[in-house]
Amino acid sequence: MLDLYKLQIFSAVVHAGSFSAAAEHLYITQSAVSQHIKELESSLGRPLFQRGWRGVKLTPHGEILNRYTIEIFELVAKAEN
């Protein structure tokens, strides 16, 4: 089962373009971001990011998850309203 908190971290990495920038935005450590992403990738059995020295880029599977993540958080917002 997907964890909304991990999806929030995933989304922050997507928007920030790096684990360290996402960590700063979320007020958690970079290693915590890395661990959550590693656990998410492990649970899905797919890499979600291509890691490079200039940041990260979504893999094709990451692109798919990103689209679902946007939809999920839109539905969560609707349910809260």
pLDDT given for residue 29 in this prediction: 98
The answer to whether 19 and 37 are in contact (CB under 8 A) is yes
Over residues 32-36, mean pLDDT? 98
Q: What is the pLDDT of residues 44-79, one digit of tens each?
A: 999 999 999 889 999 999 999 999 999 999 999 999
pLDDT given for residue 1 in this prediction: 81
Tokens of residue 55, six digits: 């940041």
pLDDT band, residue 16 (cuts 50/70/90):
very high
| pLDDT of 39 higher than 90 | yes
pLDDT given for residue 59 in this prediction: 98
Query: Nearest 5°: CA angle at 68, between 55 and 9?
Result: 45
